[in-house]
Amino acid sequence: MTSLAGRRRLLLGILPLSTGAALVTLIVARISMPLAALVVAGIGISARRFALRDLDDAARTRRTRLTKRAVVAGVAATLAYDATRFGIVAVAQWDIQPFYAVPRFGQQFVGTGAAGLVQWLVGLTYHVLNGIGFAVAYALVVRARVGGQPSVGRSPSRRRYQPTSGGIPALVG
């Protein structure tokens, strides 16, 4: 049986994963992405309210701080992902378009009749929000526990860095 804290973490992951769920719903069930995103986001907002309803102000502040850091990490990770994808295609000289899907995402929201630039901008917005959503979900659901101990709210003074076998410091607490 999952603990209350575990259930709370799972509920907090619904909203940030709504963009990914919308894409899966489109592929699997042929249901429109905007509709699926709206439905899952609505469920996620309700689940978030339920999950946070009995947290004290300090715990809410820690979750907010963690979410803000995850948003920044999500933008950075999406940029790194795109740069890597573009770099691999360029170096390998593959005959594929690494960003082919971006305007297709936009078409799902604004239709095929919209201007190409609008399709690109809406698709890019969806793509970046999806990357941010994965980072936030990871932070709130997976990363919220490290080594069996809650990482949210651990003071930096109680954290220490320890070298790993590869010489890369690991955060241990």
| One-character DSSP codes across 20-43 | HHHHHHHHHH---HHHHHHHHHHH
Neighbours of 153 (CB within 10 A): 12
What residues does 161 pair with on adjacent strands? 171
Nearest residue to 13 (alpha-carbon basis) of 150, 151, 141: 141
168 assigned to some structural domain: no
> Is 84 within the bounds of a domain?
yes
- Paired with 145 in beta bridges are 150
Q: Tens-digit pLDDT profile for the chain (173 aa)?
A: 467 677 888 888 889 999 999 999 999 999 999 999 999 999 999 998 888 888 889 988 988 899 999 999 999 999 999 999 999 999 999 888 889 999 999 999 999 999 999 999 999 999 999 999 999 999 988 865 544 444 444 444 444 444 444 444 444 43
Angle, helix 116-137 to helix 101-110, in steps of 10 degrees: 100
Q: Is residue 138 part of a domain?
A: yes
> Tokens 């936030």 sit at which residue?
136
Chain centroid, CA 112 distance in Å: 27
**Residue 159 within any structural domain of the chain:** no
User: In this structure, is residue 25 part of a structural domain?
Assistant: yes
**Total domains, the chain:** 1
Domain presence at residue 61? yes
In a domain, 146, yes or no: yes
| Boundaries of domain holding 72 | 4-153
Please tell me the pTM assigned to this model: 0.75
In a domain, 142, yes or no: yes
